[in-house]
Amino acid sequence: MLARILLLVAALLLPDALHAAETPAEKAGFAAKLTIYLAKGAPDACGPGCDRWIAIEGQLDADAGQRIRRFLADVKDTQRPIYLHSPGGNVEQSYVIGRLLRSRKAVARVGRTTVTACAAGTQVDAACLKTKAAGGEVEAELTTYHAMCNSACGYLFLGATSREVAPDAALAVHNSRLILNIRGEPPPGLIAELRQRRMAAGDRDRIAYIATMGISRELNDLIRTVKFENLHMLTRAELYRFGIDTRLFAETMWRLDTGARPAVSKIAMMKKENDASFRMMEWRMFCETRTRVPLMFAAEIDGTTTGKSTVQVTADADTGKGAGGSSVRTEKYEMWTSSLDPDMVKAVMASRALHVRQTTTMPEDKTEVTTFDVDLTGLASARAQLATACAAVAPKPKSPWPAIPPPSASAKPPAAPAP
């Protein structure tokens, strides 16, 4: 009976995505159709020894799965990392692509690719999209800063067997919305019944898909509580608890921060031992003087601590050289600053990792020692950019403390509204 009365197409989509002359995705800086291409960057652009990746970006459209399948069939390197930057779109297509990624045992991360051949300020005009679709590799830059994989993109992301969301990127979820394109004038009761059935089927499909990908059902429970008009950016604890990104220590790339006092910075989130929460920390390297390079380390204070922490850092190229000292508390953060001498700077720049040892006073005069490594990949190129930025800034009076906001001010990317 429904077939005789209705001719409709039902899909879980973002609102009005098929009807606007300029889609909300385009207004937000995304292409109206999902785009995939091969990118090549500077050495170590996508990690140690990695300078090539696959970029998938834009809105998930109704034909996205077919295009992605054809493209990946010609990419023999199944472990070439895939970087996603998308506001979402067609949920059913995200399942198709997610299953394809699972069959390839793909590596997926959230990141923004910027093609260097495209005009400044845009990556979605006709000329740039033509460059991306031309085939072959395109020269590009990569960043996780403010990158996003929202809504339906999240289901696509779950398909990968290796998943990473940097602390300055966003993976955001919300409940889906059903769009019915109706021809004719069917009774309202039939429309309501069809809508209820399709939404129930959509819920079952989502539950089954999430379970198949080995993700906790808690994710589905959360999604059902978030209205379609809103977005919930998954916290680091949720990413870990749901089984999406299970790294105990997640860090960003080194990036240049311009402003009154330029610096290169890195943010990391580290899981607390025997605790479900994560602790945020940040490193900043400032403009160097003739003989020293200022370095700052800041971290959230663990509520169980009773005294100051001391920090000792060494570089793996020469563990005999180091720097360290006691921290100073300010509000909910503790900060440690030092000036690296030329020998220490050389050791740092020749290293792959910075070894950090933090000793903290605990109740009853006990001490707790925490050790971890900070990836130095990309620091050399970021520091070269810093030298240029420093040369353009007028000299400031010397100060023993860097004039910077606490780490939380730059750690959380704004979750863009759903198109």
The pLDDT-based confidence of 395 (bands split at 50, 70, 90) is: low
Q: Environment class of residue 215 by beta-carbon count within 10 Å: exposed (0-12), middle (13-18) or buried (19+)?
A: middle
Q: Environment class of residue 228 by beta-carbon count within 10 Å: exposed (0-12), middle (13-18) or buried (19+)?
A: middle
Place of tokens 């950019």: 385
Contacts (Cβ under 8 Å, ≥6 apart) of 66: none
What is the predicted pLDDT for the residue at 42? Answer: 94
The 10s digit of each residue's pLDDT in 259-284 is 889 999 999 999 988 888 999 999 99
What is the predicted pLDDT for the residue at 398? Answer: 53
Asked whether residue 406 carries a pLDDT value surpassing 90, the answer given is no
**β pairing state of 170-173 and 148-150:** parallel
Could you count the other beta carbons within 10 Å of the beta carbon of residue 246?
13
More confident residue, 302 or 353: 353
What is the predicted pLDDT for the residue at 181? Answer: 65
Comparing 64-73, 74-83, 316-325, the range with the smallest average pLDDT is: 316-325
More confident residue, 325 or 242: 242
Residues 149-155 have a mean pLDDT of 96
Residues 116-134 have a mean pLDDT of 89
What is the predicted pLDDT for the residue at 21? Answer: 32
Asked whether residue 186 carries a pLDDT value surpassing 80, the answer given is no
Asked whether residue 199 carries a pLDDT value surpassing 80, the answer given is no
Q: Environment class of residue 378 by beta-carbon count within 10 Å: exposed (0-12), middle (13-18) or buried (19+)?
A: buried
Asked whether residue 248 carries a pLDDT value surpassing 60, the answer given is yes
Residues 330-337 have a mean pLDDT of 86
Asked whether residue 117 carries a pLDDT value surpassing 70, the answer given is yes
Residues 410-416 have a mean pLDDT of 46
Query: Distance between CA 95 and CA 93 in Å, rounded?
Result: 5
Asked whether residue 174 carries a pLDDT value surpassing 60, the answer given is yes
The pLDDT-based confidence of 43 (bands split at 50, 70, 90) is: very high
The pLDDT-based confidence of 24 (bands split at 50, 70, 90) is: low
The 10s digit of each residue's pLDDT in 131-146 is 999 989 999 999 999 9
Query: Distance between CA 158 and CA 210 in Å, rounded?
Result: 8
Q: What does the block give as tokens for 118? A: 């495209």
Asked whether residue 372 carries a pLDDT value surpassing 80, the answer given is yes
More confident residue, 87 or 302: 87
Task: Please state, rounded to an integer, the average pLDDT across all residues of the chain.
Answer: 85
Q: What does the block give as tokens for 77? A: 């390197």
What is the predicted pLDDT for the residue at 189? Answer: 73
Which of left, alpha, beta for 121 (phi over 0: left; psi -120 to 50: alpha)? left
DSSP readout, 188-244? HHHHHHHHHHHHHHHHHHHHHHHHHTT--THHHHHHHHS-TT--EEPPHHHHHHTTS
Helices (H), 242-363: 342-349
Residues 49-62 have a mean pLDDT of 96
More confident residue, 242 or 393: 242
Residues 225-242 have a mean pLDDT of 95
Asked whether residue 409 carries a pLDDT value surpassing 80, the answer given is no
Asked whether residue 408 carries a pLDDT value surpassing 80, the answer given is no
Phi and psi at residue 72, to the nearest 5°: -70, -20
B/e letters for 179-199, b = 16+ CB within 10 Å, e = fewer, are: beeeeeebeeeebeebeeebb
More confident residue, 11 or 170: 170
Could you count the other beta carbons within 10 Å of the beta carbon of residue 113?
26
What is the predicted pLDDT for the residue at 405? Answer: 47
What is the predicted pLDDT for the residue at 180? Answer: 64
The pLDDT-based confidence of 303 (bands split at 50, 70, 90) is: low
Comparing 213-222, 243-252, 321-330, 371-380, the range with the smallest average pLDDT is: 321-330
Asked whether residue 246 carries a pLDDT value surpassing 80, the answer given is yes
Entry pTM: 0.86
What is the predicted pLDDT for the residue at 396? Answer: 56
Could you count the other beta carbons within 10 Å of the beta carbon of residue 91?
24
Query: Distance between CA 356 and CA 245 in Å, rounded?
Result: 23
What is the predicted pLDDT for the residue at 350? Answer: 92
What is the predicted pLDDT for the residue at 400? Answer: 46
The pLDDT-based confidence of 20 (bands split at 50, 70, 90) is: very low
What is the predicted pLDDT for the residue at 16? Answer: 31
More confident residue, 118 or 409: 118
What is the predicted pLDDT for the residue at 257? Answer: 93
